[in-house]
């Protein structure tokens, strides 16, 4: 497992403090979206479907810092849109690193290499590069030729400069497991700092609604995809995810969704109830927690929108909590040290 020791200790300490304080609902990862604009139009993403006047807006660094301070999550993921289009993204990142937040700046890689001089390598900063497969598949997913090669070149340049780099892969219906195995081998040879994978979920505004996975499809597909890793045939594969979340994807664990564990803040405010559903926004994190009827969401509810979702933003926080159980600590520690 590729979660660095410093982050694992900080997150573990944070979880213990929340437990001791008696808090039932608390954030683990803040999804901070400083803009919705993007230089790609991926068929599985609906962010750029927002109206033009929304796409023109940016969160200011001060708004970002206020949201991070109010929320208190130890990890901040910066998706979008494409964050590197934000004119003050370097100032935002510096402010978050100064707060000792573990920052994952999510990027499609197109602007990454030319932007590296804006940033300073730090154990608190990771570039998370979107790659959904090898060249042909990825360029098809993002609907533009050449993006894969540009992203890979940027990964190599970032690693040469001493930055932490992970990849972020969304798995859709029709994914070929042997091709995914070859993809993981390729990424491992790049010496990246971990891979993140998650099943695609039918984001309501995404243009392509035909290739999202149903729950049982997800489990069957991930059993095939992860079989070489779980059987020890591909130990060099390094996942920047809890081993218990991987167990959840293959059906070995049955978790309830904890959507408050990964709240989303954007130019529209705090999104209810989670990153994937468009059910309104509120002004403060406190209001999000206290006014959302959480029982109406998640796979344990009767909400049809939630029944097939197995996305990391809903279930990775649940897995992190489960990792604190004495019966699971051995597996989590073993994965952390590569055992």
Total number of domains in the chain: 1
Cβ-in-10-Å burial (0-12, 13-18, 19+) of 16 comes to exposed
Residue 2 or residue 176, greater confidence: 176
Q: How would you write 270-286 as a 3-class SS string?
A: EECCCCCCCCCEECCHH
Summarize pLDDT for 128-181 with one digit per residue, the tens. Answer: 999 999 999 999 989 899 999 999 999 999 999 999 999 999 998 889 999 999
The domain in which residue 289 lies consists of 5-336
- Judge whether residue 206 has pLDDT over 60: no
Kindly report the backbone phi and psi dihedral angles of residue 81, in degrees, each rounded to the nearest multiple of 5, phi listed first. 50, -170
Compute the distance between CA of residue 7 and CA of residue 218 in angstroms, rounded to an integer. 29
Are 28 and 262 within 8 A, CB to CB? yes
pLDDT (average), residues 258-281? 94
Omega of the bond leading into 81 within 30 degrees of 0 (cis): yes
Helix ranges, 131-199 (H) = 135-142, 147-160, 177-189
Give Cα 58 to chain centroid, integer Å. Answer: 21
Mean model confidence pLDDT for the chain: 91
The CATH number linked to 204 is 3.20.20.70
DSSP 30-74: EEE-S----S---TT--GGGS-HHHHT----HHHHHHHHHHH--S
Average pLDDT for 19-24: 93
pLDDT at 334: 58
Instruction: Flag whether the pTM goes above 0.95.
Output: no
Residue range 207-230: mean pLDDT, rounded:
82
Residue 116 token pair: 């590296």
């Amino acid at each position: 497992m590729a979660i660095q020791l410093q982050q694992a200790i900080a997150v573990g300490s944070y979880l213990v403090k929340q437990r001791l304080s008696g808090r039932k609902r608390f954030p683990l990862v803040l999804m901070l979206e400083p803009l919705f604009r993007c230089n790609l139009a991926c068929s599985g993403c609906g962010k750029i479907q927002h109206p033009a006047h929304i796409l023109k807006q940016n969160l200011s660094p001060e708004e970002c810092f206020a949201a991070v301070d109010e929320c208190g999550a130890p990890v901040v993921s910066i998706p979008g849109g494409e964050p590197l289009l934000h004119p003050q993204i370097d100032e935002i990142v510096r402010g978050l690193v100064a707060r000792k937040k573990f920052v994952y700046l999510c990027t499609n890689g197109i602007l990454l290499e030319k932007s590296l001089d804006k940033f300073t390598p730090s154990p608190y900063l990771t570039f998370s590069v979107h790659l959904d497969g090898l060249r042909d598949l990825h360029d098809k997913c993002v609907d533009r030729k050449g993006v894969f090669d540009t992203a890979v070149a940027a990964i190599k340049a970032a690693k040469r400069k001493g930055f932490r780099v992970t990849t972020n892969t969304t798995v859709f219906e029709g994914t070929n497991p042997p091709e995914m195995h070859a993809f993981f081998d390729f990424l491992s040879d790049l010496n990246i700092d971990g891979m993140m994978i998650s099943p695609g979920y039918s984001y309501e505004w995404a243009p392509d609604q035909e290739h999202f996975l149903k729950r049982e499809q997800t489990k069957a597909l991930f059993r095939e995809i992860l079989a070489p890793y779980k059987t020890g045939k591909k130990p060099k594969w390094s996942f920047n995810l809890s081993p218990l979340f991987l167990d959840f994807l293959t059906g070995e664990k049955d978790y309830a969704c904890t959507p408050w564990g990964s709240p989303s803040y954007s130019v529209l405010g705090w999104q209810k109830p989670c990153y994937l559903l468009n059910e309104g926004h509120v002004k403060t994190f406190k209001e999000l927690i206290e006014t959302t009827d959480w029982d109406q969401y998640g796979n344990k509810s009767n909400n049809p929108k939630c029944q097939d979702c197995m996305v990391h933003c809903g279930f990775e926080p649940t897995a992190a909590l489960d990792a604190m159980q004495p019966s699971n600590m051995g597996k989590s520690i073993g994965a952390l040290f590569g055992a």
